[in-house]
Amino acid sequence: MSIADPMDLIAWRQGEAHVEGVALSRIAQAHGTPTYVYSRAQLVRAYRDLARALDGLNGMICYAVKANGNLAVVRSFAELGAGADVVSVGEMKRALQAGIPAGRIVFAGVGKTRDEIDAAIDAGIHQFNVESEDELKTLSAAAAARGQRAAVALRVNPDVDAGTHEKITTGRKENKFGIDIARAPAIAALAARLPGIAFTGLALHIGSQLTTIKPYRQAFARLAELTQALRARGIAVERLDLGGGIGIAYQPGPVIDLKEYATAVAETVGNLGCSLVFEPGRALVGNAGLLLTRVIRVKEGDARRFLVVDAAMNDLVRPALYGAFHAIRPVLEPAPGEAEAPVDVVGPICESSDLFAAQRPLPPVVADELLAILSCGAYGFVMASTYNLRPLPAEVMVDGDRFALVRPRQSYDDMLGADRLPEWMTAPGTGTAVRPRARGAA
């Protein structure tokens, strides 16, 4: 049992690509482009596959909201019984809004502010994953001031190289995340005696987009050794948060078999009698979404051919940020035997890094045709920006033969109207300046 293939999301029917029972051209006609499109059936399938693999391990699946925070997406997992892994109060509020109980929310992240800590204590979340001694003391003061005890798991850094991209690895000594595993016993002893703290266990997360089991086995084994060492000191360990990071197939290559992952969990920490937390994000949503875009024009260069599309790096930054690969397919089904030729698929932003694919073999495509950029359900819209003052794209969810707008395209009025002029600056179109007060005037 493995993570879905990106091509599972679309199927060609009557000459064009569909998501579930909906033609992508219908979505483009109704809501324009660029637009993110999510399949509810794929979300449900991914969650149930993982839950089935982990059955019997006394675990709670907490969806990592940072991967895709759309309300309809988070609600889909809430309806399946998921908890939430959050790294900000905004994500916590979104999880609560989606119907995930506070008691099933884990708050992670290296930079929680005092205001965020206060809000999460007041909400009554399941657990804080604490990443430093200073954070632990801040949390202690905040909880004690309320006459409460906050449940804490120490996030340890096991110094395991996940073998993934440099910018998304989190479990090595040089990474900013977690507490050095050698220091963890002393910090755990401190947590056990601090007021306002209910020390419950340990946590780790070694990185994102893992495609082999070996790093997990190494990290979980070190967590098991630490658990036994703490218990030998009389410190109870009741919970283990094993993080997330299971990768997806962006293109042909190895992916993790979910049963093998579950076996690795069982063989390393399964005999410790701890409740477990799993924090998948990309594995649940990555291949359940695509970015629908329209070709503006085909540009013939001296050495290369360019498809200029209306999506850009502000809509999907992963290729520019990580050099990430995303499969791209025309929405119109190519004719049998139609020859492919290399093209650069680029956006309209004034940056050379605004590039979705370089010299990618594609069938002939002309201006005004639609393209589907696949595997965009994770770290797509959530990382979007308004660079070049481009409005944020729309988001649509498909369910069977119906679809709904789950976030409207940002309007120019909303985007441009958010700014405010200082009172001393001339109002445009009036020729009138608001004069500043004299220094010292009342």
3-state class (DSSP) for residue 267: helix
> Could you count the other beta carbons within 10 Å of the beta carbon of residue 55?
9
Residue 217 Cα to chain centre, angstroms: 23
Q: In the sheet where 10-13 sits, what is the strand order?
A: 10-13, 16-19, 22-23
CB 158 within 8 A of CB 242: no
List the structure tokens of 36: 């993110």
* Cα dist from 69 to 63, 64, 92, 382, whole Å: 10, 9, 10, 7
Residue 335 Cα to chain centre, angstroms: 36
Is 62 annotated as catalytic? no
Biggest alpha carbon–alpha carbon distance for the chain: 80
Residues 75, 79: Cα–Cα separation, whole Å? 6
CB 381 within 8 A of CB 410: no
List the structure tokens of 238: 């009741």
Q: Say how many Å lie between the first and final Cα of the chain, rounded.
A: 72
Residues 114, 248: Cα–Cα separation, whole Å? 35
Residues 113, 111: Cα–Cα separation, whole Å? 6
Burial class (CB in 10 A: 0-12, 13-18, 19+), 74: buried
Residues 178, 155: Cα–Cα separation, whole Å? 5
List the structure tokens of 194: 């601090």
- Phi first, then psi, for residue 312 (nearest 5°) are -150, 180
Omega of the bond prior to 34 within 30 degrees of 0, cis? yes
Tell me the catalytic residues: 350
